[in-house]
Amino acid sequence: MTPDEGGTTKASADEAVHLLDVLEDYLTDKGKGREDESGQYRRHAEREVNRFVEFLAGDRPTSSVAFDELTVDTLREYARYLSRQGWSEGTVQNYYAHISGFCGWATREGYLSGNPAQRRRAKEPLPEDTGRRSGEQQAWTAEQRNHLLSYVNEQAHEAIDEIASDRHTALKACRDRALVYVLCFTGVRGAEVLADDGDDRRGRDGLRWADVSLEDNSIQVLGKSGKWDDRPLPQPAVPALERLQTVSDPSNEDFPVFPTLDYPTLVQTFTQEMTDRGLASGEVEERRREAVNDGEATIIELLSEYDIAPPALTTHGARVVLRRLTNGAGIELDDKHGYLAPHGARRGVGEVLVRAYGHAEAARYLDNSEEIVREHYSHIEAGELADRAEAAFAEHGVDQQRSSGDGAHIPSVDSDREVDPTAMTESGTQVEEEEDTKTGTGADTR
């Protein structure tokens, strides 16, 4: 096998080296920076390599996946798989980079004869790095935000009016509304309040009621740095959460604020938990049927009755919810998403705060560095500088007029009469058409 195709060199074909057998060595070698950074990198790298191995394994045990399976074709298929998950370009590129890094390490260790992940054909399905500038990424506008808030309020009010006959719809409407309000006003990252299928850490399994302090207007989240942090919960978002808490009536504080309402998932959760408690599968099924199918309880109420926390809504699930809400509200977007995405809410918050209080205050609120905020919202600063420059030129023109007394002024484009581009001097002023006194053409005889 050629280096372009990948292949093993450290062991013979009869002694295939399996990826998971050396994963810990890779993580040890790579986790050598500052403690916080190295720990975070290890977690992300381990998660992505395991995701990659599960993709390759299919129905096989993950322990059977060996380096001789890593070819340009398999890496190409994985790049295509990542690109189809609905993640942003940056996320897909980042996840693939972890696999490329692992393959590079394996090449240096002798497990591969070359890095197939770096071949052009393997990377071809990856989304292009568009190099989008500040201001080109989605940010919810005030109009979009208000339109969406009005829609979810209307949906929640109508569902609450019918809660006696349809509790599930009321819970769904209140959950959706609370999610929109939290995203609109807190600026949190989606991964900080929603569940991440690839990360089972506490804090990446969805916001819990124990993390919410409505009295103190704050929520506690696991930040991007891997440390717990208190985030502001502006007052406009509080009533939506209060109503959700009343309608959902969680049996304990470990319940997620934004639970999934996918019926098969909830049934599976109930069955698994009750089986773990020692009940036979037949008895579990009978209890569920009596309460939900033959009774009036919803599956989420059944979970609460037995003090079983439902799984939290995932980041993917939230994107599905927001796509549905965007369409329902009749909001049209012509960007690549076609709906109001979670990260667009965060950027919308950033837009408001940068314009109102500047980059430093916005950075504190968004849990980001001032440098990053300046980079992400540089279009705002550029616009403000343009306004200041315009004012400076206007003031300079007035000063000139006052000092020279020659009536000099800065012309307004709106007040300009049509200019013949061929009749311009080098200084840019229009040449008045000369009268032909010899022939009388153009002469004013009055």
Task: Give the model confidence (pLDDT) of 310-330 as tens digits.
Answer: 999 999 999 999 999 999 999
> Do 198 and 317 sit in the same domain of this protein?
yes
> Do 168 and 38 sit in the same domain of this protein?
no
> Do 178 and 271 sit in the same domain of this protein?
no
Which residues form the domain of 315? 138-259+311-376
- Least trusted range by pLDDT, from 30-34, 35-39, 57-61: 35-39
Task: Give the model confidence (pLDDT) of 287-305 as tens digits.
Answer: 999 999 887 889 999 999 9
Q: For residue 130, is it within any domain?
A: no
Is residue 409 very low, low, confident or very high in pLDDT (cuts 50, 70, 90)? low
pLDDT of residue 394: 83
CA distance 51 to 431: 71
Q: For residue 270, is it within any domain?
A: yes
Is residue 41 very low, low, confident or very high in pLDDT (cuts 50, 70, 90)? confident
> Do 229 and 351 sit in the same domain of this protein?
yes
Is residue 432 predicted with pLDDT exceeding 80? no
Q: For residue 427, is it within any domain?
A: no
Determine the 3-state secondary structure of 438 from DSSP.
Answer: coil
Q: How many domains does the chain have?
A: 3
Q: Looking at residue 87, which CATH number applies to its domain?
A: 1.10.150
Q: For residue 98, is it within any domain?
A: yes
Which pTM was predicted? 0.66
Q: For residue 400, is it within any domain?
A: no
Q: For residue 439, is it within any domain?
A: no
Task: Give the model confidence (pLDDT) of 136-146 as tens digits.
Answer: 688 999 999 99
pLDDT of residue 144: 95
Task: Give the model confidence (pLDDT) of 371-401 as tens digits.
Answer: 888 888 888 878 878 888 888 888 876 555 5
CA distance 215 to 232: 12
> Do 62 and 28 sit in the same domain of this protein?
yes
- Least trusted range by pLDDT, from 49-63, 291-305, 356-370, 414-428: 414-428
Is residue 131 very low, low, confident or very high in pLDDT (cuts 50, 70, 90)? low
> Do 292 and 180 sit in the same domain of this protein?
no
Is residue 285 very low, low, confident or very high in pLDDT (cuts 50, 70, 90)? very high
Q: For residue 324, is it within any domain?
A: yes
pLDDT of residue 3: 41
pLDDT of residue 32: 56
Is residue 411 very low, low, confident or very high in pLDDT (cuts 50, 70, 90)? low
**336 CB contacts (<8 Å, ≥6 apart)?**
none
- Amino acid identity at 294: D
> Do 26 and 119 sit in the same domain of this protein?
yes
pLDDT of residue 371: 81
Is residue 343 predicted with pLDDT exceeding 80? yes
CA distance 378 to 133: 9
CA distance 220 to 204: 12
> Do 223 and 112 sit in the same domain of this protein?
no
In sequence order, what are the beta bridge partners of 228? 222
**228 CB contacts (<8 Å, ≥6 apart)?**
203, 220, 221, 222
Task: Give the model confidence (pLDDT) of 356-366 as tens digits.
Answer: 999 899 989 99
Q: Which residue bears the tokens 């009010």?
A: 157
Q: Which of 357, 445, 345 is nearest to 142 (CA)?
A: 345
**Which of 73, 92, 123 marks a domain boundary?**
123
Q: Which tokens go with 56? A: 């390759």
> Do 192 and 274 sit in the same domain of this protein?
no
Distances (CA, A) of 144 to 139, 150, 189, 217, 266: 10, 10, 19, 25, 33
> Do 232 and 362 sit in the same domain of this protein?
yes
Q: What is the rounded average pLDDT of the residues 94-116?
A: 93
Task: Give the model confidence (pLDDT) of 199-228 as tens digits.
Answer: 888 999 999 999 999 999 999 999 887 889
Computed over every residue of the chain, the mean pLDDT equals 84
From the number of C-beta atoms within 10 Å of its C-beta (0-12, 13-18, 19+), residue 302 rates as: buried
Q: Which is higher by pLDDT, 37 or 399?
A: 399
Distances (CA, A) of 362 to 44, 351, 355: 27, 9, 9
**Which of 376, 401, 421 marks a domain boundary?**
376
Q: Which is higher by pLDDT, 324 or 85?
A: 324
Is residue 36 very low, low, confident or very high in pLDDT (cuts 50, 70, 90)? very low
Q: Which is higher by pLDDT, 188 or 136?
A: 188
What percent of the chain is modeled with pLDDT above 90?
Answer: 61
Task: Give the model confidence (pLDDT) of 142-176 as tens digits.
Answer: 999 999 999 999 999 999 999 988 999 999 999 99
> Do 326 and 366 sit in the same domain of this protein?
yes
pLDDT of residue 168: 92
Q: Which residue bears the tokens 């004012």?
A: 391
